[in-house]
Amino acid sequence: MRIDVHTHVNWLGYDADGLVGHMDALGIQRAWVLTWENVDGLTFNYVHLSCDQALEAHRKHPTRLIPFYAPDPRRPDAAERLLDAIKRGVRGFGECKVQVSLEDPRLLRLFRICEEHRLPVLIHMDKPLPPAFDHWYNLDIDALGRVCERFPRVAFIGHGPGFWRYVSGDEADDPSAYPKGKVAPGGKLIELFRRCRNLYGDLSAGSGLNAISRDKAWGRRFLVRYCDRLLYGTDQFDRAHLEYLESLKLPRVVMARIMGGNASKLVRVGRG
């Protein structure tokens, strides 16, 4: 089964029906529908994507779309909102995309709920980049490692430029959102994958695709080595990720795990 772990509804002009149509065109059977909630609405390029929208999309396509929800931890009632969403059918926590430290006590409280209810946690990470220096979310790759160790039963899924740039040990030498060139040894993210068995990688968006394509030979080895913890996702509406993965001629078992096998273990659903 093919599963896209990073989609949204009412995003880039696609409603729930449009999303499913796109999935059909790519041969994708299921998709995780993620939210984006920010209490001040002031962060760069913000689009409010609500829990109700994700749940409504699931009601329209119950065998295809799997709802997630990440309340803004700065809400006084964030924990209550998450617990209510779980009762209503939410199956994961995401997309966590707020200007809060990963070790903020308000966010740790939500991670504890995810641990209790066995929800995977999908986190968007960025770093300040010109020209919009306020464009950052969930900073600090080192904090991610500490959070993974603090909640070993939670599957943490990293995504975004502030996550994938750390595949290379020389990430500080290229301040762009999508560093180019050969991957240098010593990447912090590789060390985290070795150390934290509950850390996964969402290959979606330009950041994920860039990480595995900037150094093609290295990227193929990485996909094979960590095929049990990498997840196919798009975060957009094109064929770029699928076509690149298919072009690598990966072993069948590797491709099967990345394209849906790992996701189906993190969120178990009946066949539809």
Distance CA 153, CA 146 (A): 13
Model confidence band, residue 134 (pLDDT cutoffs 50, 70, 90): low
| The pLDDT value given to residue 45 | 77
3-state secondary structure string across the chain: CCEEEEECCCECCECHHHHHHHHHHHCCCEEEECCECCCCCCCCCCCCECHHHHHHHHHHCCCCEEEECCCCCCCCCHHHHHHHHHHCCCCEEEEECCCCCCCCHHHHHHHHHHHHHCCCEEEECCCCCCCCCCCCCCCCHHHHHHHHHHCCCCCEEEECHHHHHHHCCCHHHCCCCCCCCCCCCCCHHHHHHHHCCCEEEECCHHHHHHHHHCCHHHHHHHHHHCHHHEECCCCCCCCHHHHHHHHCCCCHHHHHHHHHHHHHHHCCCCCC
Let me know how long the chain is: 272
Given a cut of 90, is residue 127 above it in pLDDT? no
Given a cut of 60, is residue 272 above it in pLDDT? no
Distance CA 145, CA 155 (A): 12
pTM above 0.75, yes or no: yes
Model confidence band, residue 75 (pLDDT cutoffs 50, 70, 90): very high
Model confidence band, residue 46 (pLDDT cutoffs 50, 70, 90): confident
Given a cut of 70, is residue 270 above it in pLDDT? no
Per-domain residue ranges for the chain?
3-266
* Joined tokens for residue 3: 């599963």
| The pLDDT value given to residue 43 | 65
Model confidence band, residue 42 (pLDDT cutoffs 50, 70, 90): low
Contact status, residue 226 vs residue 197, Cβ threshold 8 Å: no
pLDDT in tens, 202-231: 999 999 999 999 999 999 999 999 999 999
Residue predicted with more confidence, 60 or 127: 60
**Distant-in-sequence, close-in-space partners of 135: CB < 8 Å, separation ≥ 6:** 43, 44, 45, 126, 128, 129
pLDDT in tens, 143-197: 999 999 999 999 999 999 999 999 999 998 888 889 999 999 999 999 999 999 9
Q: CA angle 210-215-221, nearest 5°? A: 100
Contact status, residue 90 vs residue 57, Cβ threshold 8 Å: no
The CATH class given to the 3-266 domain equals: alpha beta
